[in-house]
Chains A and B, each alone.
Chain A
Amino acid sequence: MIEMALEIIVMIKQVPDSSEVVIDPVTFTLNRGAARNVINPADENAVEQALRIKDKNPDTHITVITMGPPFAETALLDSMARGVDRAILVTDRAFAGADTYPTGLTLAATITKMGKFDIIYAGEESTDSSTGHVGPGVAEFLGNEQASYTSNSWVEDGFVFAERQLEDGVETVKMEPPCLITVLTNANIPREATLRMKIDSIKKGIETWTLADIGLKPEWVGLKGSPTIVKSMRTINEKKREGKKFGVDEMDKFVDELISKGILNLGDE
């Protein structure tokens, strides 16, 4: 295999730990104060996938980027401690309240400013907004090919290959770089950071960019640049289950109940 020096960008997001999320009943926003922050799980797999390419092609250079509040730097430092070379935090008050459109735009503008790249990695989706739109949205802004929902990807003869897990099968695609790939949470097992690398990453530090650095207008980003709004939110009451009991000798009644309630229709389709 020909070794290549690749330029890889991984987009990561810090999210509240999903087991600890609290929602503000008035504004319908996340009460982040209450929950611990972690790297979005799928983004850890995206970082790992990039590192695996670097394992094979050691001259590869990996940058992680995130758009988020200043405390999102912990996610960046954590990625560097696993072997990522460079980290950029794009942060500005103007970015607050962004839906997927301005988020993709902001990240695409950041990548444009960074210059040439071969592969962008993103997670399949984030646990807090769970749309999976940001990755492909960035590819659209930049005009690149994409492969979403992948469990594996590799570089061979200058092409990028990826395996996409679809509902009805596994598809292998071949693309020319530059391209974007989104990674599934079960694609790999992310490596642990070592203490040594943790110290190194803190020494190295991260770069911080603002709106002015990426050349977008304030009305294009954040809440103002978002086509969608959250109108309301209600809690979903888990269905109350009656737990109706049937004895072993009552299977005739049981089957009748399923049929009469329309739960089971015999001989349809």
Chain B
Amino acid sequence: MVGLINAEAPESIDDYKNVMVFLESRDGKIKRPGLEMISVGSRMAHKVNEILIGVVFGDNVGQLLKEAGEYGCDKVIGYESPDLKDFRTIPYATLLSDLISEFKPNILLIPATRNGRDLASRIAVRSRTGVTADCTELDVDPDGRILQARRPTYGESTLAEILCRKHRPQMATARPGIFEVPERKSDVRYETDLRKPKIKKEYLKKEVVGFKPKTTVDLTSAKYIVSGGLGLGKAKGFDLIKELADEIEAYVGASRPTVDLGWITRDHQVGQTGQSVRPQLYMACGISGKAQHLMGMKLSQNIVSINIDPDAEINGISDYIIIGDLYEVIPKIIEEIRKRKNSVSKDSKPKKDENEVKEGEVKT
């Protein structure tokens, strides 16, 4: 809604300070990609002695304010209205760009989720600035507080560093699953600013008339994935995959033929015609590693192959190779993990237990 206007740079860019992050949420919870913005955003803000300002929108933002603060925002601004329940481009873009005019952030980060990118494109035009999409590395140069936004290009073969020297805020969207989720602390100080805006009718013309949640969580932001292929030999083989996955809190992946055979639903498929994943750990069990499968998982940080065939293609891109029958190997891995978990809970008392005790006390 700017009209045909060129990207005029602001007169005084020194007025722009601090890092602002937009924290996407659903059903009163900040989504993981938003939490990831907090870790990278606060690192940059604190590096140049600035603060991190989190922004949350929703029909009820009480919990969101608390979450954002406890995960590490120095200040959290919440916009609360029934009209903000669903993500809608125009009201969201309008309120966020109003905040930009008010707070003049030097850097604005938005998760590179679909809604995040939808929003970022419009904010950039409205604020007459540049935006670097889908960054995997973000840093700030203390000299001039210039955002160094790096992103893969040309089919992930090169990493480009993109700068926006004269325009503010310097905007980037950050790829989900790259930056870590910060630790949540309940004993931190943060400032909150709850606002209840009246949203003009004309901004609410687009209606969300339906939403069908996906039955399984998306694999793209998974930390661990245990994947099964035709080597499982039968549909029930996925029970073993799930058992291992549950043990390490991993998601279940699959090769395409297992999906085509109906052993598992399509939303688990990894590869060219499935999802592209980059977990910290990808365990390929009975998967040969054909090009179409590799395309969707070769960027995983660590790859384990469990295969009876020493010459399986997947071994060529694996960090760890276990040659053997998965029906023999996986139960052993599960057993070893259970052993270690038991000894952990005996030796050092993990935080989880303390929480359970507290809950018990409240009940009685």
Chain A residues with CB under 8 Å of chain B are 18, 21, 23, 28, 30, 99-102, 104-105, 108-109, 112, 127-137, 139-141, 143, 145-149, 161, 164-176, 179, 216-217, 219-220, 225-236, 238-239, 241-248, 251-252, 254-255, 257-259, 263-264, 266-269
- Interface residues of B toward A: which range? 35 or more
- A233 near B211 with CB under 8 A, answer no
Cα-based distance from A168 to B219 in the complex (angstroms): 10
A104 to chain B, nearest CB (A): 6
- B212 near A169 with CB under 8 A, answer yes
What chain B residues lie within 8 Å of A100 (beta carbons)?
A: 121, 124, 130-131
Known: A101-B125, A225-B6, A245-B323. A173 touches B206 (CB 8 A): yes
Question: Top 10 A-B pairs ranked by shortest CB distance?
Answer: A227-B130, A136-B121, A228-B130, A220-B6, A172-B210, A131-B133, A251-B332, A248-B324, A140-B125, A143-B1
- A230 near B160 with CB under 8 A, answer yes
Cα-based distance from A143 to B125 in the complex (angstroms): 11
- A169 near B214 with CB under 8 A, answer yes
Closest residue of chain A to B162, judged by CB? A228
What chain A residues lie within 8 Å of B332 (beta carbons)?
A: 248, 251
Closest residue of chain B to A217, judged by CB? B6
Cα-based distance from A236 to B154 in the complex (angstroms): 11
Q: Can you pick out 21 interface pairs between chain A and chain B where the beta carbons lie within 8 Å of each other?
A: A18-B154, A21-B155, A131-B121, A132-B133, A133-B120, A133-B131, A140-B93, A141-B3, A146-B118, A179-B206, A227-B7, A228-B164, A238-B298, A245-B320, A248-B325, A248-B332, A254-B333, A255-B333, A263-B302, A264-B248, A266-B248
Closest residue of chain B to A19, judged by CB? B155
A108 to chain B, nearest CB (A): 6
What chain A residues lie within 8 Å of B206 (beta carbons)?
A: 145, 147, 173-175, 179
CB interface residues, B 216-237, toward A, < 8 Å: 217-218, 220-221, 224
Of the candidates A134, A254, A259, the one having the most CB atoms from chain B within 10 angstroms of its own CB is A254
- A251 near B333 with CB under 8 A, answer yes
CB interface residues, B 68-124, toward A, < 8 Å: 86, 89-90, 93, 113-115, 117-118, 120-122, 124
Of the candidates A104, A133, A141, the one having the most CB atoms from chain B within 10 angstroms of its own CB is A133
Of the candidates B113, B120, B206, the one having the most CB atoms from chain A within 10 angstroms of its own CB is B206
- B160 near A227 with CB under 8 A, answer no
- A246 near B162 with CB under 8 A, answer no
Known: A133-B117, A231-B161. A219 touches B333 (CB 8 A): no
Q: Does B262 contact A (CB under 8 A)?
A: no
B293 to chain A, nearest CB (A): 16
- A165 near B4 with CB under 8 A, answer no
Known: A23-B154, A226-B7, A233-B160. A264 touches B344 (CB 8 A): no
What chain B residues lie within 8 Å of A135 (beta carbons)?
A: 121
What chain A residues lie within 8 Å of B5 (beta carbons)?
A: 105, 141
- B161 near A246 with CB under 8 A, answer no
- A145 near B90 with CB under 8 A, answer yes
What chain B residues lie within 8 Å of A238 (beta carbons)?
A: 298
Which one of B37-45, B193-201, B335-343, B356-364 is at the A interface? B335-343
- The B contact surface, by secondary structure, is mixed
Chain B residues with CB under 8 Å of chain A are 1-7, 9, 26, 31, 86, 89-90, 93, 113-115, 117-118, 120-122, 124-126, 128-134, 148, 152-167, 176, 205-214, 217-218, 220-221, 224, 248-249, 280-281, 298, 301-303, 315-325, 328-329, 332-333, 335-337, 340-341, 344-345, 350, 352
- A267 near B341 with CB under 8 A, answer yes
Cα-based distance from A168 to B176 in the complex (angstroms): 13
- A230 near B162 with CB under 8 A, answer yes
What chain A residues lie within 8 Å of B210 (beta carbons)?
A: 170-172
A137 to chain B, nearest CB (A): 5
Cα-based distance from A217 to B4 in the complex (angstroms): 11
- B341 near A227 with CB under 8 A, answer no
Known: A149-B118, A173-B209, A258-B281. A21 touches B337 (CB 8 A): no
* CB contact between B337 and one of A139, A145, A266 (< 8 Å): that residue: A266
Closest residue of chain A to B9, judged by CB? A227
Contacts A263-B280, A268-B249 known; 12 new A-B pairs at CB < 8 A: A101-B128, A128-B154, A133-B124, A137-B121, A140-B2, A172-B211, A227-B9, A227-B164, A232-B161, A234-B158, A242-B319, A263-B281
What chain A residues lie within 8 Å of B207 (beta carbons)?
A: 173-175
Cα-based distance from A73 to B333 in the complex (angstroms): 58
Of the candidates B4, B121, B209, the one having the most CB atoms from chain A within 10 angstroms of its own CB is B121
Known: A165-B114, A245-B323. A227 touches B167 (CB 8 A): yes
Known: A145-B90, A167-B218, A244-B320. A137 touches B124 (CB 8 A): yes
B2 to chain A, nearest CB (A): 6
What chain A residues lie within 8 Å of B345 (beta carbons)?
A: 267
Cα-based distance from A146 to B119 in the complex (angstroms): 10
* CB contact between B213 and one of A164, A168, A267 (< 8 Å): that residue: A168
- B7 near A148 with CB under 8 A, answer no
- A23 near B208 with CB under 8 A, answer no
Cα-based distance from A161 to B206 in the complex (angstroms): 10
B279 to chain A, nearest CB (A): 10
A133 to chain B, nearest CB (A): 4
What chain B residues lie within 8 Å of A143 (beta carbons)?
A: 1-3
- A234 near B125 with CB under 8 A, answer no
- A244 near B117 with CB under 8 A, answer no
* CB contact between A244 and one of B9, B131, B166, B321 (< 8 Å): that residue: B321
